Structure 1
Amino acid sequence: MCVVGDVCLVRRGAHGGQGASEVEPCASERDAQAFAQTRARQWLEQGYQEVRVVPSSDTQPFDPSHKQAIERELAADPRNVDTWLVYADFLQGVMPSSSERIMLEIVRDASPPATRHPLDQLCRRHDRRHRRAWVGASLGRLIDKRGKTAPGLELDWRYGFIARGRVLGRSLEGPLERPDLDVVMAALLGSAAARFMTSLTLTAGNSPREQFRRALAHVVTAEPRPTLTHLKLSSREVRVDLGPVLAALPGLERLELSTWPAEPGAEPSLVDGLGEHLNRNLAKLEHLVLRAPGQGDALIHELLRSGCVAGLTHLSITSSRVTHVGVEQLVGHAGSFDTLEQLDLRDNEITKEWADALARAFPGARVNAELFNYDGKRVKGLRALADDDDWMFR
């Protein structure tokens, strides 16, 4: 039970479970406090018991190990609402404002859509009052009083914590003045508000290569380690060592890597050791998206050689000049894909003959491949859809 402004939020049921939630708007904060006391008294008379996760300071001292245990559970599965409820209960005696914010969003999500608008307003009001204090000094400098982030940083929030972060390099169309990539990444990963972040995007854009390297290094050195399940990297960098990065993120379920030659004739090194890194470090990987111009066939060879494709449900290699050589390898190793549901090979150099072969080799998967004729020219408007084994115009 907590009071946020002039609204009382109440939850009853099994401790740590979803239970039943009530939202009671009141005329003032004093009225909301009085309502909370009245409602609590009524439920106690009905046989409910009040549960306090945090012991009173005058009976026994605060035990940080309890907080750490709950946070480890959240780090293992940040999407578990039940654990968030336990965390909100715990924080009532440590960080009341953070506890209120978690409860407020849980109650909002559990409410009928027609009643969510006032709760959305409460969330925004609560964020304006408390968010900058939660994120810490370094990240706070990149967020203004209205909650707007600096150019090059985009954040999505859940329960008052950062759920998704996007660190974007310089753009020819965007503002010329923006913080360096590595400065933004250090502030983001160093904030306590990012401890349960599940998705991170790092795009180099036109930023200097050294900034991208240093920004990527922060993923490896961050303490505590990010709880990412989704990582997206996009860079013109020609020498990126992904091994330490992937080793630091064993919980990744979705990985997107995109690179391009820094200059004509330069070769990105995305291929080097990629399959080995994936196979050794990412046991949970299900969704793999790759883009490396001119490297498509080599990417396929590396992935198949390592045996890391067995658990994939989605494999996408686009705009990478996959030819009949790469397709022949995929067809020959189709049995290695135990769980594949979608194979995306758009913007490559695949003829109708090899697209048909893909459709036959992966009968249980949706194969999406734009076609090229034998002269290497795209056949406009056609793609292969292996789930219904038919050719269609887009």
Structure 2
Amino acid sequence: MPRYEFKEGSSSKFWEITLSGNSFTARWGRIGTDGQEKTQTFGSPAEAQKEHDKLVREKEKKGYVLAGKGEDDDGDGGGGDEPASNPELEAAILKDPDNVDAYLVYSDWLQGQGDPRGELIAIQHAAAQASGTEASDLKRKATAHIKKYQTLLLGELADGVKSKEISLEWHLGFIRSARLAKQDYDSEFDVVEAVGALLKHPSARFIRGLTVGMTDFEENHYSRVADAIVEVGGLKTLQELFLGDFQYPDETEISWTYLHDISGALKLLPDLRKLRLRGGELQLGDVDLPELREFTVETGGLPLGAVKSIANAKWPKLERLEVWFGSDNYGAEGGVEDIQPILDGKGLPNLKQLGLRNSEFADALAQALPGAKVLPQLEKLDISMGTLTTEGARALADKAAAFAHLKQLDVTENILTDEGQSLLSKAIPQANVGNQREYEEDYRYAAVGE
């Protein structure tokens, strides 16, 4: 039970409050006595939490401070050097990460242990319930709280946050999402080491999103990031993963970036909903992601092994699939025959958006698409950035009825002539045909290779 005390002049009082579901119990009196006790019950846990937070704020305004912390305590590392842990309460959150009540029960327990995460949960929950000026004030209070207790809440990650090479989003007392990236060539920030520290830190035990930008300006690799995920035994709550969040060609070229083998990490992310990968030399192995809704791979050269991994992946809830194939000159392999399972809609009952982009077999794809079994279920089809010619445009236009149901057909950034653009525009009005690339007759290439 969190205990607050007020000592001034002849006054020496205490006040305690324990939140439990839709009720809380308060106890108060002179220090050294048992005091009085009262329990109040509300219509919902949210109402109880709101009134709880209101009373805490009132006591703090009157000068009450959490027992064990003086008024001038800067809180740096406050609550002890080691964060509190309750496996049973943490398991309840892991079982249902969207259950706010589980966080609130944990908040009360943490406050009783003097762990600043407990109060942070309460502050952020109150902010989510509030609006206008009150919500803004509470958000500022949460930011100040994180700064005050950064030693315990961030540990060695604090320097990366200060240099802005680590960006964090907090939710109910814990890190909800994080982005880590080297800022420039001269930076000494070790991205991979920081990822490992983040994933092992108690503040990230319920992390939902992880984004990794540049790991190095000489050799930009992501396999060690995947190894860090394996090292911690996976992330049960992670829902979004983006490896390769860099600007190309400003920071580096796609073909100078290496994803390598990330199959081990993917096997340890059971709740992953969104996966985005950018770079070359990708190895996926056997993909089995039962909760995945979106998959994107952006590359200048997709190896045949990765093509087959994607084509035969098990992701029954997938709604959006985007694949860049790339150029033969940069390692792209495979063709229409290798993605036939996708065209057949095999294992893709929920797919609504399909992007088969940046390919050098776009004309062959145009021939195959009208008869693709997956086509009737699609809302959007994207075959942009490839080598689609007037011949391919004619193949699509001749079978225009097959595409009539689509909300959008994207063929931008191909190499269509004016004739090809006109053919498609007339036959398939919802086709986006603009922004075509210039090319030489004997040199046709995907939009992104290097």
Q: 1:329 to 1:195 in 2, by over 3 A?
A: same
Aligned residues between the structures: 337
Q: CA deviation at 1:108?
A: 1.0
Is it true that 1:160 corresponds to 2:179 in the alignment?
no
TM-score by length of 2: 0.62
Letter in structure 2 aligned against 1:325: V
Letter in structure 1 aligned against 2:171: R
Tell me the residue number matched to 1:265. none
Q: CA deviation at 1:101?
A: 1.0
- Alignment check: 8 A CA contact 1:257 1:290 kept: yes
Q: 1:343 to 1:11 in 2, by over 3 A?
A: farther
- Alignment check: 8 A CA contact 1:152 1:168 kept: yes
Tell me the residue number matched to 1:14. 22
- Alignment check: 8 A CA contact 1:331 1:358 kept: no
Provide the aligned C-alpha RMSD in A: 4.2
Tell me the residue number matched to 1:310. 316
Deviates more, 1:316-325 or 1:211-220: 316-325
Question: Equivalents in 1 of 2:131, 2:195: separation in Å?
Answer: 37
Letter in structure 1 aligned against 2:354: L
Tell me the residue number matched to 1:31. 62
Which one of 357, 371, 376 corresponds to residue 363 of structure 1? 376
Q: 1:127 to 1:183 in 2, by over 3 A?
A: same
Which one of 312, 316, 320 corresponds to residue 326 of structure 2? 320
Tell me the residue number matched to 1:129. 148
Q: CA deviation at 1:106?
A: 0.7
Tell me the residue number matched to 2:117. 98
Q: 1:238 to 1:91 in 2, by over 3 A?
A: closer
Deviates more, 1:224-233 or 1:316-325: 316-325
Question: Equivalents in 1 of 2:110, 2:91: separation in Å?
Answer: 15
Question: Equivalents in 2 of 1:9, 1:354: separation in Å?
Answer: 70
Letter in structure 2 aligned against 1:390: Q
Q: 1:13 to 1:228 in 2, by over 3 A?
A: closer
Which one of 177, 192, 196 corresponds to residue 186 of structure 1? 196
Q: What SS does the corresponding residue of 1:345 show, helix, strand or coil?
A: strand
Tell me the residue number matched to 1:373. 389
Residue pairs, 1:285-300, within 5 angstroms = 285-295=292-302, 299-300=306-307
Residue pairs, 1:109-258, within 5 angstroms = 109-136=128-155, 138-143=156-161, 149-169=162-182, 174=184, 176-204=186-214, 206-207=216-217, 209=219, 212-222=222-232, 225=235, 227-234=237-244, 236=256, 238=258, 240-258=260-278
Residue pairs, 1:50-65, within 5 angstroms = none
Question: Equivalents in 1 of 2:346, 2:223: separation in Å?
Answer: 37
Residue pairs, 1:263-278, within 5 angstroms = 268=281, 270=282, 272=283, 274-276=284-286, 278=287
Question: Equivalents in 2 of 1:2, 1:228: separation in Å?
Answer: 31
Question: Equivalents in 1 of 2:342, 2:238: separation in Å?
Answer: 32
Question: Equivalents in 1 of 2:133, 2:430: separation in Å?
Answer: 43
Is it true that 1:78 corresponds to 2:97 in the alignment?
yes
Q: What SS does the corresponding residue of 1:302 show, helix, strand or coil?
A: helix
Q: 1:110 to 1:374 in 2, by over 3 A?
A: same
- Alignment check: 8 A CA contact 1:190 1:222 kept: yes
Q: CA deviation at 1:130?
A: 1.5
Q: Deviations over 1:190-232 (max 9, x none)?
A: 3221111111122345445497444432221126856322222
Q: What SS does the corresponding residue of 1:257 show, helix, strand or coil?
A: strand
Question: Equivalents in 1 of 2:187, 2:17: separation in Å?
Answer: 43
Q: Deviations over 1:304-334 (max 9, x none)?
A: 3x34243312111136359862697256422
- Alignment check: 8 A CA contact 2:279 2:299 kept: yes
Q: CA deviation at 1:344?
A: 2.3
Q: Deviations over 1:98-117 (max 9, x none)?
A: 21110111111111345312
Tell me the residue number matched to 1:38. none
Question: Equivalents in 1 of 2:214, 2:375: separation in Å?
Answer: 35
Question: Equivalents in 2 of 1:378, 1:10: separation in Å?
Answer: 68
Q: CA deviation at 1:389?
A: 8.0
Q: Deviations over 1:37-80 (max 9, x none)?
A: xxxxxxxxxxxxxxxxxxxxxxxxxxx99x20111222344332
TM-score by length of 1: 0.70
Q: Percent identity?
A: 22
Q: Which runs of 5+ in 2 are unaligned?
A: 5-15, 24-43, 66-83, 245-253, 393-413, 435-450
Question: Equivalents in 2 of 1:326, 1:299: separation in Å?
Answer: 14
- Alignment check: 8 A CA contact 1:296 1:326 kept: no
Question: Equivalents in 1 of 2:285, 2:210: separation in Å?
Answer: 21
- Alignment check: 8 A CA contact 2:390 2:416 kept: no
- Alignment check: 8 A CA contact 2:118 2:173 kept: no
Structure showing greater radius of gyration is: 2
- Alignment check: 8 A CA contact 1:162 1:194 kept: yes
Question: Equivalents in 1 of 2:234, 2:369: separation in Å?
Answer: 48
Q: What SS does the corresponding residue of 2:176 show, helix, strand or coil?
A: strand
